[in-house]
Amino acid sequence: MLKVGIVGCGMIGKEHAKRLQYKIQGVEVVAVCDVFEAGAKAASDLIGGVKIYTDADQLIADPDVDAVVVTTPGNFHKNPILSAIKAGKPVFTEKPLTTTAADCKEIVDAEMASGKHLVQVGFMRRYDRGYNQVRDLIKSGEFGKPMILKCTHRAEGVDASYTTEMAVTDTAIHEIDVLPWLIGEGEEWDEVQCLFPRQTKNAHEGLADPQVMIMKTKSGVVCILEVNVNCGFGYDINCEVVCEDGVINLPCPSFPVTRKNFEVATAIEKNWILRFIDSYDVELQDWVDNVAKGTTGGSSAWEGYVAALTADALVAAQKSGKIEKVVTGGTPDFYKK
Ligand code: ISE
């Protein structure tokens, strides 16, 4: 039985605590940590009462903790991940790996120096059934090579703390990670651009919304991504892959199709927690299974670093209005799959 400590007891921390304690096989949550003791206590109470810490390093050093889950806000990921690596303990961190490429690089360097693959980044879309079905169809070769990706990342609304940059670092970061994985091994982003179309009346002051991000891979696949986080009608993730010999669309979550009042209707998921709820289950089960084998799955620290470099280029493109290059310097042998 893998004994896990969770660092960060906000919304996603509590979700994962319950998931790990009650749904996932082969794991037990033995400790939780939050700088706000009340937050840690609330999470502990949800899972039957486990040890509480307010200092992440103390939780990580606890000999009862075999592996660590980091669910703090993204800008606080770095230190607990580095401490876990130092302690030689496997660590699953929510996305993004960290919010700057420089911090991600420190993690990559520390993991390589440790000589062990310890870090998995929680990009849950790689575990989504629909994305996997699309990936298998692309892999089959029956549709020819992918050429264009038309994607939407829409949310009902965001709160006042959401910034123009977060459209990249918090939201588009999912497409940045999942799309190269979706279309083929070895794919990498090459250049990116950001356009600001007419702005919605629904966004709070200072937030640029919607945004259109155009990204091109090294092999020439072009992605046109609409990030539109005040659409008002639900959480609406779409991805159409235009290939040489056909088109593949990501399936939407299935809801009944109703007919009434001269209308055919079907629901749209309300938020991301619900939209990807099954993917989170599959993802954490895979992490636990991998840890038991001494391996990692999903996105590696290197892939988290590349996602952050791409996000940096997109943020630069937001400001410059120009096409910006993504420069990774090539995958180190340690991370080659
Ligand atoms: C949130 O943190 C997520 O990860 C969601 O998947 C994304 O859609 C949302 O924009 C983020 O704030």
**292-324: pLDDT as tens digits:** 999 999 999 999 999 999 999 999 999 999 999
User: How far is Cα 271 from Cα 232, in angstroms, rounded to an integer?
Assistant: 11
Could you tell me the two tokens for 196? 């600001």
Spatial neighbors of 40 by CB under 8 A, at least 6 apart, are: 9, 32, 33, 34, 52, 53, 54
Per-residue pLDDT of the chain (337 residues; tens, 9 = 90+): 999 999 999 999 999 999 999 999 999 999 999 999 999 999 999 999 999 999 999 999 999 999 999 999 999 999 999 999 999 999 999 999 999 999 999 999 999 999 999 999 999 999 999 999 999 999 999 999 999 999 999 999 999 999 999 999 999 999 999 999 999 978 999 999 999 999 999 999 999 999 999 999 999 999 999 999 999 999 999 999 999 999 999 999 999 999 999 999 999 999 999 999 999 999 999 999 999 999 999 999 999 999 999 999 999 999 999 999 999 999 999 999 8
Ligand 1 centroid distance, CA of 197 (Å): 21
The reported pLDDT for the residue numbered 337 is 82
Q: CA 241, CA 173: separation in Å to the nearest integer?
A: 18
14 CA → ligand 1 middle, Å: 16
Separation CA 23–CA 15 (nearest Å): 11
Q: Crossing angle of helices 101-114/301-320, nearest 10°?
A: 160
Cα(171) to centroid of ligand 1, in Å?
A: 5
**Distance from C-alpha of 22 to C-alpha of 15, rounded to nearest angstrom:** 11
11 CA to centre of ligand 1 in angstroms: 12
Q: What distance in angstroms lies between residue 325's CA and the mean position of ligand 1's atoms?
A: 25
230 ligand 1 Cβ < 6 A: no
171 pocket-lining for ligand 1 (C-beta < 6 Å):
yes
Distance CA 59, CA 80 (A): 10
DSSP helix/strand/coil, 249: strand
Residue 154 CA, ligand 1 centroid: distance in Å:
10
Our mutation pick for probing the ligand 1 site, out of 171, 209, 229, 280, counting the most ligand atoms within 8 A of Cβ, is 171
pLDDT at 106 (0 to 100): 98
User: What are the structure tokens assigned to 144, written together?
Assistant: 């020819």
Closest CA to 20 of 47, 48, 59: 47
Q: Cα separation of 8 and 14, whole Å?
A: 8
CA of 198 to the centre of ligand 1 (A): 23
CA of 248 to the centre of ligand 1 (A): 24
The DSSP call for residue 24 is S
Ligand 1 neighbour 170 (Cβ under 6 A): yes
Is the CB of 269 within 6 Å of ligand 1?
no
Distance CA 179, CA 188 (A): 9
209 lines ligand 1 (CB under 6 A): no
The DSSP result for 116-151, as a single string, is S--EEEE-GGGG-HHHHHHHHHHHH-TT--EEEEEE
Question: Helices 129-140 & 173-183, crossing angle to 10 degrees?
Answer: 30
Ligand 1 close to Cβ of residue 303 (< 6 A): no
Cβ-based neighbours of 112, under 8 Å, separated by 6 or more: 332, 334
228 lines ligand 1 (CB under 6 A): no
| Residue with CA nearest ligand 1 atom 9 | 171
d(CA 132, CA 153): 18
Atom 8 in ligand 1: which residue has the minimum CA distance? 171
Residue 229 CA, closest ligand 1 atom number: 10
- Look at ligand 1, atom 6, and give the residue with the nearest C-alpha: 272
Pocket test for ligand 1, best of 163, 170, 269 (most atoms within 8 A of CB): 170
- CB of 154 within 6 A of ligand 1: the answer is no
Rounded to 5 degrees, what are φ and ψ at 167?
-60, -30
Any idea what DSSP says for residue 35?
S
Task: State which ligand 1 atom lies nearest to the alpha carbon of 275.
Answer: 6
| Alpha helices per DSSP H over the chain | 11-22, 37-46, 56-61, 78-86, 101-114, 129-140, 166, 173-183, 272-275, 277-293, 301-320
Say what the pTM is.
Answer: 0.96
What pairing do the DSSP bridges indicate for beta strands 189-195 and 211-217? Answer: antiparallel
Locus of tokens 């001494």: 294
* 174 touches ligand 1 (CB under 6 Å): yes
Alpha carbon distances (Å) from 235 to 115, 267, 269: 40, 10, 6
Is ligand 1 within 6 A of the CB of residue 34? no
